[in-house]
Structure 1
Amino acid sequence: MKIFVLGTRGIPDVLGGVETHCEELYPRISKLGHDVTIITRTPYIKDKSVKLYKDVRLKHIFAPKTKSIEAIVHTFLGVLYAGIKRPDVLHVHAVGPMLLTPFARLLGLKVVVTNHGPDYNRQKWGKLAKLILKTGEYLGTKSAHKIIVISNVIKTILRTKYNRQDPFLIYNGVNIPKLAIDDDYIKSIHLEKEKYIIAVGRFVEEKGFTDIIKAYSSINTPYKLVLVGDADHETTYSKQLKKDAIEAGVVLTGFIRGKELHQIFSHARLFVMPSYHEGLPIALLEAMSYNLDVLVSDIPANLEVTLGDNYYFEVGNIEAIKSSILNTLETSEKSIDYSKLLHDIYNWDIIAEQTIEVYKTLQS
């Protein structure tokens, strides 16, 4: 099959959950014998001369690096390109780009969409942006040939709001790593093995990093707090977050991948995710793959990764975050082995095969 992919900023090593999803999924689909092209957004591609990544073709198409119009402009141009090249399947990721699903159908393309979650619930969007994202979810849900969702939470939303009864549930995945032995990177940013707490993600309001900084500031502990990530569009919020973090003695790594991220996860004591909104968080799955103790907010997407009551805290409750961290740090032994859960459910090889099966339903 000839498959085109839209809705991601690009691969490899581009910040974001959809980007990580695509970077892991499509090389596997290509390896299984399919011709895959990912249509990338030029502002996020460092070396535009690179046209191939792990047998996945990369087509770099212009996108304005402006938060409000970036996705819609790029998706429009990407759909036009797909209309010319005529793939067997156009796979569109996320509710914003799904706005162009009817246009893709008008061009005679067979369209699969993946709903990664109700992005309109994110605090960073204004009223107009939220309306556009809701419209994208509506149009994509109503007009796509096939729909994939990454959690039961999203599946329920589509059934309840749009009476779409046939979404395919295919989870996000994670790789099981071999733990790093080297510690030169963490030493370079003045960290010690198992003497720090990490939170990972974009510097946007819904990730709840302000809450964890407040909770950490009120704790007397030798453990350092490390925020891994950055803003893809610098905002007043992200600037203030960095200022507050520095004042609280928090370590900011910026956006890291590869060896640096591997070391950060391998040697951490605890992973905390205080998010207000998630689809199915890859960062949480990554922390679990390193067999870290994890603490996460009690939002529906996090509850779907059934961890046990003591691994959750009330979202937005600073005191609950504080007491959860202190209780976990006082426990010397990790209490869960996640390996079977990750292998059986959150396995990229299985996810690639499941996605291909969805594509095949369009060939009959």
Structure 2
Amino acid sequence: MAILQITHIVDSLNTQRGGMPRSALGLCEAISASNCKVNLCAVDLGNSFGPLLTSSNENVAIHSVPCRKLNYGNLSLPKGFRKMLAKTVQYADVIHSHGIWSLVCHDAAFFSKTLSVPHVISPRGMLEESALRRSAWKKAIAKYCYVLKNLKAAQCIHALTAQEAMSIRRMGLKNPIAIIPNGISLEPFEKARCGDPLQKRTDKKTILFIGRIHPIKGLKHLLTAWARIKNQFSDWEIVVAGPDDDNHLLELQQVARDNQLEDSVIFRQSVYGKEKEELLHSADLFVLPSFSEGFSMVLLEAMASRLPVVISSSAGCPEVVPARAGLLAEPNANSFEQVLSEVLAMTDEERLQMGSNASALVTDRFQWDAVAAQVISLYGWLRGTEEQPSFVYND
């Protein structure tokens, strides 16, 4: 069987750019096990955005060019990116880009058309209504100039969830849509999965959030809800860990001061690798109050760590409810107040059972091996060597 040559493009692999870099790299490493040679092209935004992710996988080659800031105003590209991309796509069987606003993804569409190579676009939640409202005028310009054209020209659009697929259709896009979730490698979380969860309890039980500290993450209504119920649950605290984005941390710290939450809300810097695994292992509940998500990588990591979860209905993982792995809340303070109160009032044993159910859900549905098999099948269909997969929808 011939080796597939796949080129993936993502705007950045810097660690502080959220879950998309980790998800893109994880997918590349997973599909490389299926007779694929993968080139992953990205921009290095510099040390202020954290170090670049790396891979020890010999079938995944990472290419990057330095750039301090992507310029949306004049449609310029980081110096050297197009030349680098041209070398990697000349023998590509499929081009797969992640995100829609970045100009490096615009270049992916250019080479797809020029070389007649199938192009898959993964919007990664960027077409959700709440995401479109952020920096709306800039996105409206980009959409008019190139984004909508690129999306319409793609041979397939990859949605992480059925909810995201609906958002894509609301844009008027008629392309085939492949619904394939994010994946996860379970190995880093074996300590939490195999150990006795009762041994990780501390003096205070921990409600944990890990992610970018950005308005779209809904942390303000989480703190507002907590201010209303904290006196009922004085043996609990909230830990918020992640990089400050858009100077939102100062606003949240002010909310905490205004509501006398300094003794029960802890803000931490970004955590990665072993430090993040230990933080997940020491927590008792994971929360994701976002207004919009593609499909959160850290949510999968939390569930793999046997944590029960409380997530917003916009977080893209409704499966937690039928799996009894957690509860959904609407992305507002009133709903989170009600749902958090319900979960915190449970016994330790009830929450531990929810965490065990969460771990089982991830094991059954979201391991990288299964996700990679679907993506490889999608690539085969686009190249005309396989039948249309059942997870690809034409309407």
TM above 0.5:
yes
Give the distance between the partners of 2:221 and 2:383, measured in 1 at CA.
Answer: 48
Could you say what secondary structure the match of 1:57 adopts? strand
Q: What is the aligned counterpart of 1:343 among 348, 351, 363?
A: 363
Cα deviation, residue 148, structure 1: 1.6
Give the distance between the partners of 1:286 and 1:99, measured in 2 at CA.
Answer: 31
| 8 Å CA contact retained: 1:227, 1:251 | yes
Give the distance between the partners of 2:76 and 2:55, measured in 1 at CA.
Answer: 24
Q: What is the aligned counterpart of 1:299 among 307, 314, 318?
A: 314
Give the distance between the partners of 1:270 and 1:39, measured in 2 at CA.
Answer: 36
Could you say what secondary structure the match of 2:240 adopts? strand
In structure 1, the residue matched to 2:343 is: 328
> What's the TM-score, normalizing by structure 2?
0.77
Identity %: 21
Cα deviation, residue 347, structure 1: 1.7
In structure 1, the residue matched to 2:120 is: 112
Could you say what secondary structure the match of 1:224 adopts? strand
Gapped runs of 5+ residues in structure 1? none
Give the distance between the partners of 1:165 and 1:315, measured in 2 at CA.
Answer: 30
In structure 2, the residue matched to 1:311 is: 327
| 8 Å CA contact retained: 2:288, 2:315 | no
In structure 2, the residue matched to 1:122 is: 131
C-alpha distance 159-211 of structure 1, shift in aligned 2 (>3 A): closer
Aligned amino acid, residue 301 of structure 1: G
In structure 1, the residue matched to 2:280 is: 265
| 8 Å CA contact retained: 1:119, 1:133 | no
Give the distance between the partners of 2:383 and 2:132, measured in 1 at CA.
Answer: 40
Cα deviation, residue 204, structure 1: 1.0
Cα deviation, residue 120, structure 1: 6.5
> How do residues 109-258 of structure 1 correspond to structure 2 at under 5 angstroms?
110=117, 111-117=119-125, 118=127, 121-122=130-131, 125-132=134-141, 134-135=143-144, 137-176=147-186, 177-180=189-192, 192=202, 195-218=205-228, 219-220=230-231, 221-231=234-244, 233=245, 235-245=246-256, 248-249=261-262, 250-258=265-273
> What's the TM-score, normalizing by structure 1?
0.83
Give the distance between the partners of 1:240 and 1:160, measured in 2 at CA.
Answer: 33
| 8 Å CA contact retained: 1:228, 1:252 | yes
In structure 1, the residue matched to 2:32 is: 30
| 8 Å CA contact retained: 1:194, 1:269 | no
> How do residues 81-120 of structure 1 correspond to structure 2 at under 5 angstroms?
81-85=84-88, 86-88=90-92, 89-97=94-102, 98-108=105-115, 110=117, 111-117=119-125, 118=127
| 8 Å CA contact retained: 2:309, 2:326 | no
Give the distance between the partners of 1:225 and 1:290, measured in 2 at CA.
Answer: 18
* Deviation readout 1:280-303 (Å, 9 max, x if unpaired): 222222222222121112227243
What is the total number of aligned residue pairs between the two structures?
Answer: 351
Gapped runs of 5+ residues in structure 2? 385-395
